[in-house]
Amino acid sequence: MSAAETSLHAVRRLAELRGLEADRLQSDLAERHVQRRRQADAVERLNTLCAGVGASAALPLALSANCAAYKETLIELGQRQQDELAVHDAGIASARVALVAAACRRMALDQAVAGRQQRFDRELAGREQKRQDDIATQVWLRGNR
């Protein structure tokens, strides 16, 4: 294997690995989007529950206190879920940035592979042309004897 072939093979392998990295990041981002949708749905359900509790002032004292504690718990839980959702959104943003960077690296390596492949093909064509020229020279020399 020539140096050009070895180099081309190495760059192709590196491009494959970068492609796998980009694919892994893309599936990770898709999983994060699914998780975000679940968390957003949970926040929406908690808000709906909280809105459905209604006014507790019209109830007897024990039920009113219980209703107020329930509503407070729902509000706190909803706030924690909102905070987790915000953290998750930040994670999605960073995952998206990492995916874009990996895609750029992958494209750069694909261009490098294409360039090296062209150089290798030109080198191969040059060697083939030289071989053809040598054969033609030998035939011409034998014909002029």
Residue of 50 and 133 predicted with greater confidence: 133
Residue 141 lies in a domain: no
Residue 64 lies in a domain: yes
- Burial of 26 (C-beta count, 10 Å sphere; 0-12/13-18/19+): middle
CA atoms within 13 A on the CB side of 25: 22
How many distinct structural domains can be found in the chain? 1
The range of the structural domain enclosing residue 46 comes to: 3-112
Residue 138 lies in a domain: no
* Residue 86 clears pLDDT 90, i.e. is over it: yes
Residue 59 lies in a domain: yes
Residue 127 lies in a domain: no
Residue 128 lies in a domain: no
> Per residue in 14-32, pLDDT tens?
888 888 999 999 999 999 9
Residues ≥6 apart with Cβ < 8 Å to 28:
95
Residue 136 lies in a domain: no
Output the pTM of the full model.
0.68
Query: What is residue 30's predicted lDDT score, i.e. its pLDDT?
Result: 94
Residue 143 lies in a domain: no
Is residue 112 within 8 A of residue 60, CB to CB? The reply is: no
Query: What is residue 55's predicted lDDT score, i.e. its pLDDT?
Result: 64
